[in-house]
A and B are shown apart, each in its own frame.
Chain A
Amino acid sequence: MATIAKPENLVYQRPEAFTEFPTHYCPGCTHGVAHRLIAEVLDEMHIIERTIGVAPVGCSVFAYNYFDCDFVEAAHGRAPAMATGIKRVLPDRVVFTYQGDGDLASIGMAEIMHAAGRGENLTVVFINNAIYGMTSGQMAPTSLPGMKTTSSPLGRDVEIHGYPLRMSEILANLDGAGYIARRSLHDPKNIRMAKKAIRTAFETQVRGLGFAMVELLSTCPTNWGISPLESLTWLEEHMIPAYPLGDYKVAPGVAEIKV
């Protein structure tokens, strides 16, 4: 790579845990931010070599292209089951899943609930952008009431489609969960807080403290039909009230982790 800055002046560079694969995500999408945060954490913890990722079905189906570690590709919603299979035979490896809201909270509800209930030592990064991205904008289990999608063209009518699912709140009730937190990717301050949460979620696994999930409120400008900048504002104004940020479960051992 051409040197564009003296080492002493370098303040920002590609994490070593990243490959040089060009992104396939839409402009303004926060998947890239989430990916980068994971890569930085893997670098900081020096665990990339012993990490095995499990990619989902959805926009992040190609997540395996970006991380310089072993990866498998799960069926839709089944990543926590696949990760369980890996972790149970290789307990000294670090196993994480990366899942969207359709994958985790709809078709994969049984798998995520039971992985958490069993207290599997896994790290789950959950991207909640309130919509199905890859199939181009259908209603997700996390779509907000009134939200227009291609499968709720008049807006999500809770009388017909029911209410959004708050996965962090649900999973935090399970004894097997060690760490459950919700963060947002809409501004630098929150992105930094998201990274700390992701670090904590990986530390939880490495220390064998049970199931860990970080839910990341994310944008989908393409399918929301607004600009990237407007998306960040929309997230802040509409999603955060519906999905309050915070730590929902911090097991005693996890509370002692300093990151």
Chain B
Amino acid sequence: MPRELLKGNVAIAEAAIRAGLEAYFGYPITPQTEILEHFARRMPELGRAFVQAESEVAAINMVYGAACTGVRVMSTSSSPGVSLMMEGLSYIMGTEIPVVLVNVMRGGPGLGNIAPSQGDYNQAVHGGGHGDYNPIVLAPSTVQEAIDMTILSFDLAERYRTACIVIADGSIGQIMEPAELPPMQPIKRKDWDWATNGAIGRERRILSSIYIDPNEEEVANLRMFKRWQEVQKNEVRYKEYHLDDADFVVIGFGTAGRVALSAVRTARQQGIKVGLLRPITVNPFPYDVLDELSKLAQAFLVVEMNMGQMLNDVQLAVKGRVPVEFHGRPGGMVPFPDEILNEIQRIATTELSIVSDPRHAWYERMVEFLK
């Protein structure tokens, strides 16, 4: 297919349609509304289901119902709306059915603003709903990746009977850039052995997240974890840039990772041996890659558009071997390459110590920076 100038939100919606999406349920919220609007026009003309729900609470439960029938279904929202979906997400995970959810993240907490943010990393990766569960979480940094990951999400969700969440910071939803959409795929309804689509000529099925006997719930939790171990083994995805001889490693996902790449390239031109690791799957997190890098690198710099959330996962992987530094822009702010370049230069030229929470020193630097 030809490359087109596409807005991220529109690209996500159209990619889902071409991947065989049969039903969409959503609610308007900036900065993801163009997704809903694209579906509002396209789904009815294709004879597929579209409902503008009364709330994100209802939307995720419509998704839950449709997913139980085994069709490809999704919802999309932005941070405050995704918070409302956490109840439904927990039920979906507890019921072990495939669902795709996109969060075009905005500044928070609370009503916050409509600017790009990565403040929902922990909500997506480390829970958000109640109980123990592990969704697959993908983080695109370009419109092309948003297309590719939306399509991949459906395959992963079905393969592991899980929710797959795409966390795109608001800039990915709003940016326009050249990208290639895949050809339209015909809808292929699969004959899942778990789907509640009417017990015609077969035994009836029940889909539920209830295990009233704690012994059974414990077994269910362990079963889900075993499946998660398979995900961890098979599905870790990331991009490496200039890491072969890197003394210093920058880590960032989504837009933060993309901006960091500009800084890394400039630093390379200045002779600093720095590379970038950009996780594609933030869950499963590329722990093993970081573990290996931490045996070679002198220091790490985590760059995020939040108060330091992926930072904790990096620290887990690095295991205190070398210093892990942090630079973040929370609240809807996007870092400039110069800021990250300054941080790379500081790390390359300063004696660093290993601390449990590098955010304290970052906070002091931020206070100076914002003066």
Interface status of A245 (Cβ within 8 A of chain B)? no
Bound-complex Cα distance A110 to B73 (A)? 22
B200 touches A81 (CB 8 A): no
- The A-contacting residues of B in range 54-99, CB under 8 angstroms, are 54-55, 57-59, 61-69, 71, 73, 87-88, 91, 95
Interface status of B204 (Cβ within 8 A of chain A)? yes
Shortest Cβ distance from residue A8 to the other chain B in the assembled complex, whole angstroms: 31
B63 touches A85 (CB 8 A): yes
Bound-complex Cα distance A89 to B63 (A)? 10
Interface status of A84 (Cβ within 8 A of chain B)? yes
Interface status of A86 (Cβ within 8 A of chain B)? yes
B58 touches A71 (CB 8 A): no
Cβ 8 A contact of A82, one of B51, B55, B65, B200: B65
Most chain A Cβ neighbours within 10 Å, of B62, B71, B87, B199 = B62
Interface status of B29 (Cβ within 8 A of chain A)? no
Bound-complex Cα distance A51 to B49 (A)? 20
- The B-contacting residues of A in range 73-129, CB under 8 angstroms, are 73-75, 78, 81-86, 88-90, 93, 110-111, 113-114, 118
Closest to A48 in B: B199
- Interface size of A by CB at 8 A reads 33
* Interchain pairs with CB closer than 8 A, number: 125
B204 touches A74 (CB 8 A): no
Bound-complex Cα distance A199 to B234 (A)? 51
Bound-complex Cα distance A151 to B140 (A)? 49
Shortest Cβ distance from residue A86 to the other chain B in the assembled complex, whole angstroms: 4
Cβ 8 A contact of A86, one of B53, B57, B69, B209: B69
Bound-complex Cα distance A86 to B197 (A)? 8
A89 touches B198 (CB 8 A): no
Interface status of A193 (Cβ within 8 A of chain B)? no
Interface status of A52 (Cβ within 8 A of chain B)? yes
Most chain B Cβ neighbours within 10 Å, of A68, A73, A85, A118 = A85
A85 touches B198 (CB 8 A): no
Interface status of B110 (Cβ within 8 A of chain A)? no
Q: Contacts A89-B22, A90-B198 given; 9 further ones with Cβ under 8 A?
A: A61-B210, A64-B206, A81-B58, A84-B51, A84-B62, A88-B49, A88-B51, A89-B23, A113-B54
Q: What is the interface of chain A, defined by CB distance below 8 A to chain B?
A: 48-52, 54-55, 61, 64, 68-75, 78, 81-86, 88-90, 93, 110-111, 113-114, 118
